Amino acid sequence: MANEEKLNDSFLGTGWSFPPQFSDISGDVIQVSDLEDIRQSLVILLSTSLGERIMQPAYGCNLRDYMFESMNTTLITYLKSLIYDAILFYEARITVNKLEIDTSSYLEGILNISIDFTVKSYNSRYSIVFPYYINESSIKTA
């Protein structure tokens, strides 16, 4: 009961864990809150292609469409703008301070997407790195 009250009182919101998981004891959906909810929301946003969600066709960030393109400065800049715009429109709890795409592991099939952001309601800065696996067109979650 105390755990449920804690989840309901979360300042930044509470949502299903990603990928969805269920409690072995109660069978309820496991919930995440605060910074972890934001992190998982960003993983979902960056992993979703435009048009993939029927009720929100503009939700997502078409990173898969560019996995076979030649990686150059123009493409990196364009990918950064795609990511920035997706976060701007669909993750209102944060403000992006800096967005970097590290291509040093590109030949191994990995783009490291680094997002430095401020949580608006806390006015606290955080940094998250998402390894985007080009061959699988996915972001691995920890």
pTM reported for the whole predicted model = 0.79
Token pair of 142 as six digits: 């920890």
Distance CA 78, CA 128 (A): 20
Class at the top of the CATH hierarchy for domain 2-139: alpha beta
Report the amino acid identity of residue 27.
Answer: G
Express each pLDDT in 81-122 by its tens digit: 999 999 999 999 999 999 999 999 888 888 999 999 999 988
Give the pLDDT score at 20. Answer: 67
The domain spans of the chain are 2-139
Q: Judge whether residue 8 has pLDDT over 70.
A: no
Band of residue 2 on the pLDDT scale cut at 50, 70, 90: very low
- Longest distance between any two alpha carbons in the chain, whole Å: 53
